[in-house]
Amino acid sequence: MKLLILLSILLTCLSLHANLSKRAKTNYVPDKATAMKIAEAIWFPIFRDTINNYKPFSIHLQGDTLWIVSGYRKELSLGGGQPFIELRKSDCQVLVASRMK
């Protein structure tokens, strides 16, 4: 009986580990459009309506793991620097969110 319980626990742990491994390889930010929506959602509370002053946005994938999204500064009179974000593709973690000068 104890052996059956231990075997059941072992199989459950192996199943959970397999599911977690699959999730780790999931791309929560699969494309440019998704990266842009996440960046805008983060930037809007900071820049409000002035976020449109930094378009067009530059979006590129660094390696196969990191989205880089940045704004373009049209006028030197815009203060504070343009928006810049680094997002990890696999889990959507924001690694850097700042204003470039």
User: What are the structure tokens assigned to 100, written together?
Assistant: 């470039």
Per-residue pLDDT of 47-91, as tens digits, reads 888 888 888 899 999 999 999 999 887 665 555 678 999 999 998
Number of domains comprising the chain? 1
Question: Does 44 have pLDDT greater than 80?
Answer: yes
Model pTM score:
0.68
Mean residue pLDDT across the chain: 80
Instruction: Please report the pLDDT score of residue 24 as a whole number.
Output: 52
Apex 40 CA angle, 34 and 58, nearest 5: 75
Question: Does 16 have pLDDT greater than 90?
Answer: no
Domain that holds residue 78: 27-100
In a domain, 42, yes or no: yes
Q: Say which CATH number the domain at 48 has.
A: 3.10.450
CA 97, chain centre distance (Å): 11
Instruction: Please report the pLDDT score of residue 67 as a whole number.
Output: 96
In a domain, 7, yes or no: no
Name the 3-class secondary structure at 12.
Answer: helix
